[in-house]
Structure 1
Amino acid sequence: MFKQWVLVAAGSALGGVARVALSAGIYRRWGTSFPWGTLAVNGAGCFFIGLLFTWAEERLRLGTAGRLFLMAGFCGGFTTFSTYALETVQLFKSGATFPALVYVVGSSALGLAAFIAGSFMGRLAIL
């Protein structure tokens, strides 16, 4: 059991660092008036987990260790539902109702579309 925890912890650490790096780059480029960084990170995470899930099931036959490290660990540390919730509430509190609604709908649509795209790419073995 300890080995499994270490795999998840290591993957989470790498995913968290990747999340901060990607979001910071996006916020530097596009500003912070809208949560573009979190939207991009969560979309990329959904794509990546869709790809991994398909590869794990159909191509790579990832074992338990690989799934724990990549899917639970890296993807779990990379994506951030709690930040999405916080940023949504902050948009509503600041009176930015329309951007908040766009963020909620856009995040859900992007997440599902990215997962499906990742899964599709995994089946085609393009990546």
Structure 2
Amino acid sequence: MTSSGAGQDVFRGRPVRGRGRAFGVLGAIAVGGGLGSVARFLVTSAVPVGASGFPWGTLVINLSGSFALGALMVFILQVWPPSRYVRPFLGVGFLGGYTTFSTVAVEITRLAAPTAAVYAAVSLVAGLAAVWCGMTLARLTARVPVRRGPRKETR
């Protein structure tokens, strides 16, 4: 009886391939998140809550982060060559640590009803507009054509 695995230890597991890469990506996200959180702290320190109680600092952070995310995705997906660590470091890590949804939710509960509704609406609508502006400016800067409509298949 011959076996292709004769002489091998059957109780020893196979080495996990790519484990070092996974920790590299997680490390990039962690470092980016830490730097983004520090940047958020610095911005909120520079733009304190106004006398009316309106959270201008958080609004500035989320709108600038939305703008940056729109621009970043154009550069990552259409301009720069593929990279394993750029999107996790900048998109998930830095901008994930920089922007904050949880703070918006807490601030909405602390504001008076009309102001809270305006703050929520402005955060949503202006955030989407900021993403669009970031994408548009990035495409103009990089001279990437704007795609219109669904892609047509070519054969």
Q: Deviations over 1:33-90 (max 9, x none)?
A: 1111111100000000000001111111342210000000000000000000010011
For 1:1-127, list aligned pairs within 5 A. 1-27=22-48, 30-31=50-51, 33-91=53-111, 96-125=112-141
Q: CA deviation at 1:17?
A: 0.5
Secondary structure of the corresponding residue to residue 23 of structure 1: helix
Q: Which runs of 5+ in 1 are unaligned?
A: none
- Distance in 2 separating the partners of 1:98 and 1:108: 16
2:118 maps to a residue whose letter is V
- Distance in 1 separating the partners of 2:130 and 2:57: 15
Contact 1:11 1:70 in 2 (8 A): yes
Runs (4 or more) in structure 1 with deviation over 4 Å come to none
Q: CA deviation at 1:31?
A: 4.6
TM-score, L = length of structure 2: 0.74
1:112 maps to a residue whose letter is L
Q: What root-mean-square deviation, in Å, do the aligned CA atoms of Structure 1 and Structure 2 show?
A: 1.5
2:70 maps to a residue whose letter is G
Between Structure 1 and Structure 2, the one with more helix by share is 1
Secondary structure of the corresponding residue to residue 111 of structure 1: helix
- Distance in 1 separating the partners of 2:125 and 2:83: 30
1:40 maps to a residue whose letter is V
Q: CA deviation at 1:110?
A: 1.2
TM-score, L = length of structure 1: 0.90
Aligned residues: 121
> Whose RCO is larger (CA < 8 A, sep 6+)?
1
Q: CA deviation at 1:32?
A: 6.7
Secondary structure of the corresponding residue to residue 61 of structure 1: coil
